[in-house]
Amino acid sequence: RKEVEQDPGPFNVPEGATVAFNCTYSNSASQSFFWYRQDCRKEPKLLMSVYSSGNEDGRFTAQLNRASQYISLLIRDSKLSDSATYLCVVNQVNAGNNRKLIWGLGTSLAVNP
């Protein structure tokens, strides 16, 4: 099982739609969680850190479910400019108490007019 798994998509949705992505992680000792956004041929940009209580930033809502070991990202009222790859990132702690960021392969979203 991969350490961090995402559905690669692509997700094709019309403008205004609500879309949700899930990301599962295998290491229950993982401590912190993030969503990054990456546009084609651009650098990744931090979209949201994911907190245990869930957090919302405008049209974006991130949730963490530690019991089931997944995080989610919900985008409401999709805009054309939301088209990008969304990368799930998990801060994992290994047996030696060393921290390492594990990146998912990303989920591709295309918002269509």
Partner 1 sequence: DTEVTQTPKHLVMGMTNKKSLKCEQHMGHRAMYWYKQKAKKPPELMFVYSYEKLSINESVPSRFSPECPNSSLLNLHLHALQPEDSALYLCASRPGGANTGELFFGEGSRLTVL
Give the footprint of partner 1 on this chain (CB under 8 A): 32-34, 41-46, 49, 87, 89-91, 99-101, 103-106
Question: CA 10 to CA 48: how far, in whole Å?
Answer: 21
Nearest approach in angstroms of CB 56 to partner 1 is: 18
Nearest approach in angstroms of CB 82 to partner 1 is: 19
H/E segment holding residue 57 = strand 55-57
Considering the complex, state which of residue 14 and residue 81 has its C-beta at the smaller distance from partner 1.
81
Question: What are the residues whose beta carbons fall under 8 Å from the beta carbon of 98, sequence distance 6 or more?
Answer: none
Nearest approach in angstroms of CB 81 to partner 1 is: 16
* E runs forming strands in 59-98: 60-65, 70-75, 84-93
Considering the complex, state which of residue 33 and residue 61 has its C-beta at the smaller distance from partner 1.
33
Look up residue 110 and give its two tokens: 């295309």
Considering the complex, state which of residue 78 and residue 107 has its C-beta at the smaller distance from partner 1.
107
